[in-house]
A = this chain, B = another copy of it.
């Protein structure tokens, strides 16, 4: 029961001009009087017209699209793996890299481009509901990578708080009792869930919360945060760092101060990036497989596209702890 999209002719009728004039307006043609343009714009707005990009490309033989041809190989794994999976399933893969304020407009133009499915990879909390999304995108299937656990939206996530629990419990099991934390950015829900997992694990073990310093997931911020932590003078024997990049920065900060890892302080990271095994010392961390997440998300999205009845679900992948050399029992 899909009502058909309004066309230039509908707009023309509404605005009392010819369809050609509407065409001129949507192409920012000169030779349209300001008054007429105004009227057409109002009509477009009022009936919710979106130009049919396929028809435009068909007619003009121009798509305004640039395609990057990349050979399968080891770099830029995440986006790359998704593109590859999409291709294997018979879909083209395009990227819309936007700032947060372009979010809405990007979604609502998707339907005019006949995008079959959208993959959302937000890094901050989206304050839109699934219903909002559906309305914005005109019902185009959406799968989100990374979302709060239990969120009512088709999504693929790693259980962040579980990962944080594994990391924190590992420290506790080693005998640590003064465990600080370097968190990710506050608006990021992965970061928040990692924080909660850390906090709850301490609480469940009857251990008081340690200091918590906020970073932004960047190498530099990890370096800064660790410096702050050390210079605060607060006693601590272990730090849970919310991602591996920050952990790398943290290790540098400790090394510069002559503090030994893991003898003086144990460090646990999160993500298990390929470099983690080569940090000094090799980093104990929580493994998430981004490629798997991307692949799973694409496959699910294609299922949603091709099977109307496919259920809304959240796929929760379980991270696991990888113990290496950056953790040890505290000095006695």
Describe A's contact surface by its main secondary structure.
mixed
Residues of B within 8 A of A72 (CB): 97-100
- Per-residue CB contact flags for chain A residues 73-95 toward chain B (1 = under 8 Å, else 0) read 11110111011101100111111
Contact B54 A67, beta carbon cutoff 8 Å = no
Within 8 A of B (CB), among A17-70: 52, 54-55, 57-58, 61-70
A52 to B96, CA, bound (A): 24
Contact B92 A248, beta carbon cutoff 8 Å = no
A107 to B68, CA, bound (A): 11
Within 8 A of B (CB), among A238-257: 245, 248-249, 251-252, 255
* Known A93-B94, A96-B87: A123·B71 in contact at CB below 8 Å: yes
A209 CB–B CB distance under 8 Å? no
Contact B83 A116, beta carbon cutoff 8 Å = no
Query: Which of A161-169, A274-282, A314-322 forms contacts with chain B?
Result: A274-282
A185 to B35, CA, bound (A): 63
CB of A186, distance to nearest CB on chain B (Å)? 14
A298 CB–B CB distance under 8 Å? yes
A203 CB–B CB distance under 8 Å? no
Residues of B within 8 A of A54 (CB): 54, 57-58, 61, 63
* Known A83-B95, A86-B66: A71·B115 in contact at CB below 8 Å: no
- Per-residue CB contact flags for chain A residues 266-305 toward chain B (1 = under 8 Å, else 0) read 0000000011001010000000000000000010011001
